[in-house]
Amino acid sequence: MALLDQDPQTPVQIYTSIWTNNQLLFIFVLSGSRGYVGWCGGIECIQQMDNHAFDNVIVSLLKTSGALPHLQSLYGYSPLVDRVHHLVEKCKDSSDNATIPTKVSTYKSWSYQVESKNDLLWTDKTRALAKRAHLRLATWIDFPLLVNWSEHFVQDCGLNDGDMWTMCANEIKKQKAYFWCLDDGTPTAMVWKRRALRHGISVAYVYTPEESRQRGYAATMVAQFSEYLLETEGYSYVTLLVDGNRDPAKNMYTSIGYKYVGEIFALYY
């Protein structure tokens, strides 16, 4: 367990991790008001974890770090995020701090991954579309369109990602927002890079305006962008999240080769 910042004027930032035989099994990070729950080594490792020892580590962290009153959401893979949430509720029940809010809503999504361009599935239609299309970085000239499409994206998904003007400005500065353009270069769809790591990266904010849907554009764009990230930028894997209301086994992303790897929950307090 470690305290990264104990200054009362700044958001609480803490982390803890659990290892066995030099293998990282679990990590919990609370930055500002959001907790991130993650695991590695495969679900079988988590199933073998000593629940009593795990509970003691998390409860000790929440009670001694001063993080509990600041925690507004938890985000991560099930079943661990469910377990941490249970422990958060347990700690709140035994706390004298009456200002700690209760759970108000949840958001579920499916997590997918592709590890090689050879795993991507192409059809004659998507190949033909890809030959007509190209991806380009969003620029400041595109800023009004980027904000507009991003706002529609979060509305469609039922998300709340905060100030979209600031977020889109940051995405342009960091060169992470892309437009997919057909023929004359007019933007037809949108996709963003997210959560870049040493070996992997995520695809996010996949959006096609209503007048351009049901034409295979989004599937072609994601396949094309994934191939670019794996082959040109050299990532070992690409991940993405899909709304939990969709069929986890049959959707646009599985149709182009992405494989289901787990459930992710966002719990809001």
- Residue 139 confidence (pLDDT): 96
Cα dist. 78→62, 106, 146 in Å? 19, 13, 32
**Better pLDDT: 80 or 9:** 80
Give the class (CATH, top level) of 113-263: alpha beta
* Helical residues (DSSP H) of the chain, grouped into ranges: 43-48, 51-65, 80-93, 124-132, 143-157, 164-173, 217-227, 252-255
The rounded mean pLDDT for the chain is 82
- Whether the CB-CB separation of 115 and 258 falls below 8 Å is answered with no
- Which tens digit of pLDDT belongs to each residue from 142-183? 999 999 999 999 888 877 767 899 999 999 999 999 999 998
- Which tens digit of pLDDT belongs to each residue from 136-152? 999 999 999 999 999 99
Q: Please give the single-letter amino acid code of residue 263.
A: E
- Residue 259 confidence (pLDDT): 93
- Which tens digit of pLDDT belongs to each residue from 39-91? 655 555 556 666 777 788 888 877 777 777 777 788 887 777 888 888 888 88
pTM given for the model: 0.74
230 three-state secondary structure: helix
Block residue for tokens 């040109």: 232
Where exactly are the structural domains of the chain?
2-103, 113-263
